[in-house]
Amino acid sequence: MATKNLTLEILNVGEVGYTKTARGGYSTLEVAYKNEGKVEGKKLVDFNNKDVFNFVKDLKPGDVIQITTEKKEEDKFWNWVGVTIATGGVAVPAANGAPTVATNTNVKSVGRVTGSNYETPEERAKKQVYIVRQSSISSAIEFAKQQGNVPSIEDILEVAAEFEAFVFSTGETPVADDIPL
């Protein structure tokens, strides 16, 4: 049996297809990638290696992966038997979508992996704050326009900060008696 390790850049991962057979069926997936600058493709089937199939279907263009291929004497094609993004074993997506690396029975979570487009939870949280701040500033400008005055930048930022504080508040609303008439 021969094995090879390759480093590939994912160009496209097609939609998962399903082929019905007399005994049920199987899922298929076509992957386009760059191997040493040359564009190539591979059709994967889930019955060869379900872990590899399930991981590859979630890859995005630009992801860089290491694959281990295997070809037995009786095989006509090279089969993908292992996929890694960082170092070690077969890469498998966790239930929450974060990548994990499995080496036989040892599974450990990893943060950002080399070549991955997945954001860490900290990166997502930081991005959400920026989005809320930008939206709050836009809303403060619209609010000022509706009031008919030309506020200073400091006034806009002050109103935007109030909007931002409201968005990030715990959601407690004032009691009806507390609202001025």
Domain boundaries defined on the chain: 2-109, 121-169
The pLDDT tens digits of the residues spanning 148-176 come to 878 888 988 998 899 888 888 876 655 55
CA 110 to chain CA mean position, Å: 14
The CA distances from residue 166 to 24, 100, 112, in Å, are 54, 36, 32
d(CA 105, CA 82): 14
CA angle 102, 107, 112 (to 5 degrees): 75
Q: What is the pLDDT of residue 48?
A: 82
Mark 8-42 as b/e (b = at least 16 C-beta within 10 Å).
Answer: bebeebeeeeeeeeeeeeebbbebebeeeeeeeeb
The pLDDT tens digits of the residues spanning 2-58 come to 888 888 888 999 889 998 888 889 999 999 988 888 899 999 888 888 888 888 888
Q: What is the pLDDT of residue 30?
A: 92
Q: Is the per-residue pLDDT at 86 higher than 70?
A: no
Q: What is the pLDDT of residue 177?
A: 56
Question: What's the CATH code, domain 2-109?
Answer: 2.40.50
CA neighbor of 39 nearest in space, from 28, 50, 30, 48: 30
